[in-house]
Each structure stands twice: as structure tokens, then as C-alpha cells.
């Protein structure tokens, strides 16, 4: 194992997960995701797309801490405490997106035998990405990695 792989495993052991940040490209918004949460707590990993790195990291750490304390998260329900003044929800990421988004997850789990939730948030006007009125920038910054 190389030094980077050892660092990832150490973070997973010490903190419950390791967080990876991927910079924005012409075709993809920036995103951050966890690895190690399912390994340690038998709960899906988390991806946060389109938010600043510092906020995404805080959200993933909060998700991990809440899972450590026994909270369970389900899809399609609304949750507070992740984004000020906004509720969020989670959707299950379709495995056909794993190769494009979760390289380190594929490495850690030696394949796609892990689950990931995508954190979904509304626009500042409270419009969800799947609503007809959703602004184009929200649609771009929160691509639909989930099945429905």
C-alpha cells in the first residue's frame, strides 16, 4: 500500500470515514464524498454535490457523527440541521454512477458492493431540483445520480 492509501485507512479508523473532494470541471460540478461509513457503521456513504468544500466537509462529518450516535437516515424524508434554514433529503445513488464519482469507494470496497446517498437540497427559494421551476444552475450543481 502507498502512503495515500495508508492515510485514507487511518482516517477511516480514527474518524469513522475519509472525505474526498473533487474540483469542478467543465462537465461536472464540484463534489465531496465519504468512504468508510458503511464499513464502520453499516450505513450508506454520502455524496454532497455543488457546495463549497468546507460546507460539504462539515455536512459529511455531521452525517457521520449523527450515524455514530445512532441516528438512521432514510430516503425521501426531510431532515434539518445540515443546511441553515433549509431542510434536505437523501436519495439512493444508482450504481451506474459509481465509476464516474466513487473511485476511492470502489478501491476501499473492492468493487461496487456499497451504498451511497446523495444529499439533495432546494434552491434558496425552496424549489427542489426535480420541480419544473427549478433554476438551471441548481439543476447543473445537483445532477441526478439517483434512479427517480
> pLDDT tens digits for 76-106?
899 999 998 899 999 999 999 999 999 999 9
Note the pTM of the prediction, 2 decimals: 0.94
Q: What pLDDT was estimated at residue 141?
A: 84
Contacts of 20 (CB under 8 A, 6+ apart): 32, 33, 34, 35, 104
> What sections of the chain are H helices per DSSP?
3-15, 37-41, 53-68, 98-101, 103-108, 136-141
> pLDDT tens digits for 61-74?
999 999 999 999 99
> pLDDT tens digits for 116-140?
999 999 999 999 999 999 888 888 8
Amino acid at each position: 500500500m502507498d502512503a495515500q492509501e495508508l492515510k485514507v485507512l487511518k482516517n477511516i479508523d480514527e474518524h469513522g470515514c475519509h472525505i474526498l473532494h473533487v474540483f469542478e470541471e467543465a462537465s461536472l460540478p464540484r463534489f465531496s464524498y465519504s468512504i468508510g461509513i458503511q464499513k464502520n457503521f453499516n450505513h450508506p456513504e454520502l455524496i454532497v454535490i455543488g457546495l463549497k468544500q468546507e460546507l460539504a466537509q462539515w455536512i459529511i462529518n455531521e452525517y457521520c457523527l449523527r450515524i455514530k450516535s445512532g441516528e438512521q437516515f432514510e430516503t425521501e424524508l426531510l431532515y434539518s440541521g445540515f443546511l441553515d434554514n433549509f431542510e434536505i433529503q437523501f436519495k439512493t445513488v444508482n450504481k451506474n454512477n459509481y465509476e464516474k464519482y466513487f473511485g476511492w469507494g470502489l478501491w476501499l470496497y473492492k468493487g461496487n458492493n456499497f451504498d451511497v446517498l446523495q444529499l439533495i437540497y432546494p434552491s434558496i427559494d425552496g424549489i427542489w431540483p426535480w420541480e419544473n421551476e427549478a433554476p438551471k444552475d441548481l439543476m447543473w450543481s445537483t445532477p441526478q445520480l439517483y434512479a427517480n
